[in-house]
Structure 1
């Protein structure tokens, strides 16, 4: 098991009820640049949702995870607040807005995520039909950026 970052230990010191959890520790995106940009959107309060193919797992609601930037540094602890499963193209305008990327429209979101899904799953014939985890979250640590 990978050692959990200092940020997680700080969170657990303030929230000992979470001490038994083994959070996911990962960045958003598929490049260093994307991870940095998406981490910035989380830290400034713009991004409060994410989506990924179901093949990457379905997090339980109320799960915590540690968000990394493009250098692999922990920048925030977030808590999943809502999970919805559906086709990629079932995204609605509200979710696209909450994801906080681009111009925050459904059209922009769908175009960007089709590209992302195709890069991650190049053999998939119809990315619009891919089972997708639509996840909303809140930032819970560090306190200065927590919701």
Structure 2
């Protein structure tokens, strides 16, 4: 088993051990990813999650379908990786909405917590990134392109004030 997978399993096991026996999250099967991929961007975005500033993320449905993966939904859990691929947090999606790119709200952009938190910043950064994804998948990005707007909460590591009950 690759060392990164072992680290993720141990991290997940520590989270599960912190939960009550009846907590349905004990049997969840989380995915694991670094926001923005790997390297410096994953480090920066993971730090925003840990600081409580990043509480949302956006992706294109086409990214999942191209990989044969199910679309994320509320209640899904994910292990967040840093730039080196090490686990640093676990998030739980609280809402997932399909929104046209041109209709993403300023409120959502602020929850995503990147840059200056403005919708203008969000649109510029995501037009660049989603444009690359669309090009790689043989499409183009425009204001009607569907975007998965995913809100989440940090569930591990726990803040001192909201540690899971055991």
Matched, 1:117 2:130: yes
TM-score, structure 2 length as denominator? 0.81
Q: Hey, what does 1:10 align to over in structure 2? A: 14
Contact 1:27 1:72 in 2 (8 A): yes
Give the number of the structure whose alpha-carbon radius of gyration is greater: 2
C-alpha distance in 1, partners of 2:142/2:157?
36
Matched, 1:27 2:34: yes
C-alpha distance in 2, partners of 1:145/1:29?
28
What are the Cα deviations for residues 84-117 of structure 1, in whole angstroms up to 9, with x where unaligned? Answer: 1011221111001010011111011011001111
Contact 2:94 2:151 in 1 (8 A): yes
Contact 2:35 2:80 in 1 (8 A): yes
Alpha-carbon distance, 1:128 to partner: 3.0
Unpaired stretches in structure 1, ≥5 consecutive residues: none
C-alpha distance in 2, partners of 1:145/1:128?
42
- Return closer, same or farther for 1:116/1:108 CA change in 2, 3 Å cut-off: same
C-alpha distance in 2, partners of 1:146/1:67?
21
TM-score, structure 1 length as denominator? 0.90
Q: Hey, what does 2:118 align to over in structure 1? A: 105
SS at match of 1:28: coil
Q: Hey, what does 1:133 align to over in structure 2? A: 148
Unpaired stretches in structure 2, ≥5 consecutive residues: 65-69
Q: Hey, what does 2:73 align to over in structure 1? A: 60
Contact 1:43 1:145 in 2 (8 A): no
Structure holding more strand per residue: 1
